[in-house]
Amino acid sequence: MNPKISIITISYNHKEGLEKTLKSVVSQDYKDFEYVVIDGGSTDGSKELLEKYSDKITSWVSEPDNGIYHALNKGILSATGDYLFFLNAGDLFIDESSLSLAAKEVHTEDIIYFNIEVKGENVNFVKECPSVLSFYFFYKDTLPHQATFMSAKSFKMNGLYDESLKIVADWKWYFEAICFKNLTYKKVNEKFSTFFLDGISSLNSEKVIAERNKVLFTLPSVFTTDALEMDALKSELKELQHFQRSYQHLKKYRLVKLLHQLKLINIPD
């Protein structure tokens, strides 16, 4: 049997992005999903937009909340699906068959993640996470929530998002779920959704780093020590690879110069 999927969208005063996301969701050819929208009491016409789409939305509210992760937690508590997926206002599925693809993959693992297209001003690339995750990966990076499904039971095992954090509570959730709770996961090497670089985390990199460090440095020092040593080793390796490339270029240059001196080749002035 196909799993029931809960799609959760949160939004606040982002009517234009919300409408794009609504259209992307309702256009899906896979229909065994519920759609939950949590709006933070917007004053830009978002509520009226939700009323317009109310026959396409399973449940929605437009009321003040305490920030991103409070809104996401409200969505989680409202959801009844086997797997939960977060597509925030402004983000889009790659095409109409994205959920059909997901339905084939989300069955047994707790966390299933896909590739994500990232777009911004003069930026367009596909982000791929490794198929084997580690503490060091989460020390440097995170899974894209716009391309990641979590089982409903995983939130019972790992809890809700930490509302004391403003930007990186989803990173903390993945990090603890995989590194400490040993939840199962799987990578699907397919492009799934589009993320636009206009959100709070992409525009506040310094705050992201500060909040991550706040979490990381509450851990036993052995974790951060190992991560810092790995950073140092990677830097040394990068320097060695650069030296090797420079050495190869130098060898080629000396060989060409020698052949020229022997008059075996001609180098124009």
Q: Which CATH class, in words, describes the domain spanning 5-205?
A: alpha beta
Domain ranges of the chain: 5-205, 220-269
CA atoms within a 13 Å half-sphere pointing along the CA-CB vector of 205:
3
Q: What is the pLDDT of residue 154?
A: 97
Q: What is the CA radius of gyration of the chain?
A: 24
Single-letter amino acid code for the residue at 259: L
Q: From 173, 108, 107, 104, select the one nearest 145 (Cα to Cα).
A: 173
Q: What is the pLDDT of residue 131?
A: 97
Task: Specify the 3-state DSSP secondary structure of 163.
Answer: coil
Segment 93-152, tens digit of pLDDT: 999 999 999 999 999 999 999 999 999 888 899 999 999 999 889 988 999 999 999 999
Give the list of residues 6+ apart from residue 31 with CB closer than 8 angstroms, or none.
Answer: none
Q: What is the pLDDT of residue 226?
A: 65
Q: What is the pLDDT of residue 236?
A: 63
Q: From 148, 150, 138, select the one nearest 195 (Cα to Cα).
A: 148
Q: What is the pLDDT of residue 205?
A: 76
Segment 190-203, tens digit of pLDDT: 999 999 886 554 55
Burial of 10 (0-12, 13-18, 19+ CB in 10 A): buried
Q: What is the pLDDT of residue 214?
A: 86
Q: What is the pLDDT of residue 258?
A: 63
Q: What is the pLDDT of residue 215?
A: 87
Q: What gap in Å lies between CA 85 and CA 75, rounded to an integer?
A: 10
Task: Specify the 3-state DSSP secondary structure of 215.
Answer: helix
Can you list the residues of the chain whose pLDDT is less than 70? Answer: 198-204, 220-269
Give the list of residues 6+ apart from residue 155 with CB closer than 8 angstroms, or none.
Answer: 76, 84
